[in-house]
């Protein structure tokens, strides 16, 4: 007697997968929105006296453990770890939103123009983007950070360069596959200009994947910014930033001072997980994939 494997209907299995994806995306949205709210209200909380000044030493330079007056303890400079962790979300969001937006507004138009016009311009842009894409993103960001210096805008520029090819490649590939469709040919036959075809007919048909790239790049940018801060680059020295605080906590870890590294590291991890879940959920929702089940 042979045993047969129980198989669920394919439609049910797909429904379960999409349900799980939606649940995970909702978790990611909750985490991401929570960090956004904290970042937006951190300065207000400080003005109301609910948060300490993250750049002011509150006690003598000594590690105060978590509890009592200092929920997350203090670091060796006497700064309140709780306040610096919350304000770190503000710095992260400022840099990440700027970086991903800059790469989007450069990469998407270049991909549209390159895919639609083709020719020498397409080949030149492909060569340039492929060259950037082959470079390790972190090393490229570190090099650019040395060149442009510290600051929110400078850090965003240093991070954004490595993301431009991702928008370019996706948009260009979609454009080359759509530009020969009948509705594009009809618009051209009616005398529509290149600008009109790109903005009115092609843009909305190739933009679907951009939100997915945006959220996943935002998650990656948080890690890159943390790496720059860990190396002493990116933002000014006293700015509350998770990577910088982790670097300051490194020397204290061997002596058992764990809280100065735990809370900034946990905040960075949660924000990356939240954005990654949103990106993966959007990918499943926009482009649901049928998988063969054995």
Place of tokens 């090099």: 143
Give me the pLDDT at residue 22, please: 81
CA distance 244 to 276: 23
Give me the pLDDT at residue 6, please: 44
CA distance 294 to 289: 16
The DSSP letter of residue 163 is G
Regions of the chain with pLDDT less than 70? 1-18, 59-62, 287-294
Give me the pLDDT at residue 294, please: 37
First and final C-alpha spacing in the chain: 21
Give me the pLDDT at residue 156, please: 92
Domain ranges of the chain: 17-286
Q: Is 196 exposed, middle or buried (0-12, 13-18, 19+ CB in 10 A)?
A: middle
The candidate with the shortest Cα–Cα distance to 235, out of 62, 98, 139, 46, is 98
**Spelled out in words, what is the top-level CATH class assigned to the domain 17-286?**
mainly alpha
The 10s digit of each residue's pLDDT in 10-67 is 544 656 666 777 888 899 999 999 999 999 998 888 888 888 888 777 766 667 777 7
Whole-model pTM: value is 0.84
Q: Is 27 exposed, middle or buried (0-12, 13-18, 19+ CB in 10 A)?
A: middle
Give me the pLDDT at residue 168, please: 93
Give me the pLDDT at residue 60, please: 67
């Amino acid at each position: 007697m042979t045993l047969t494997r129980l198989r669920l209907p394919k439609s049910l299995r797909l429904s379960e997968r999409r349900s799980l994806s939606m649940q995970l995306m909702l978790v990611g949205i909750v985490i991401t929105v929570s960090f956004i709210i904290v970042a937006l209200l951190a300065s207000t909380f400080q003005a109301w006296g609910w948060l300490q000044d993250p750049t002011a030493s509150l006690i003598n330079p000594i590690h105060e453990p978590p509890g009592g007056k200092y929920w997350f303890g203090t670091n060796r400079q006497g700064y309140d770890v709780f306040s610096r962790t919350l304000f770190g979300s503000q710095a992260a969001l400022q840099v990440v939103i700027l970086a991903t937006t800059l790469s989007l507004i450069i990469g998407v138009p270049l991909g549209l123009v390159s895919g639609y016009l083709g020719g020498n311009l397409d080949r030149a842009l492909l060569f340039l983007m492929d060259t950037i894409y082959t470079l390790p993103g972190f090393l490229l960001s570190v090099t650019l950070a040395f060149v442009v210096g510290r600051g929110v805008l400078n850090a965003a520029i240093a991070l954004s360069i490595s993301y431009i090819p991702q928008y370019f490649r996706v948009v260009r590939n979609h454009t080359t596959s759509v530009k020969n469709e009948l509705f594009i040919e009809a618009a051209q036959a009616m005398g529509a200009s290149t600008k009109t075809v790109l903005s009115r007919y092609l843009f909305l048909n190739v933009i679907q994947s951009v939100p997915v790239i945006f959220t996943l790049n935002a998650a990656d940018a948080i890690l890159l910014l943390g790496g720059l801060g860990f190396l002493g680059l990116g933002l000014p020295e006293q700015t509350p930033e998770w990577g910088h605080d982790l670097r300051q906590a490194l020397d204290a870890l061997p002596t058992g001072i764990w809280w100065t590294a735990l809370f900034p590291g946990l905040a960075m991890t949660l924000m990356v997980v939240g954005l990654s879940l949103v990106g993966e959920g959007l990918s499943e929702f926009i482009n649901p994939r049928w998988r063969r089940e054995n």
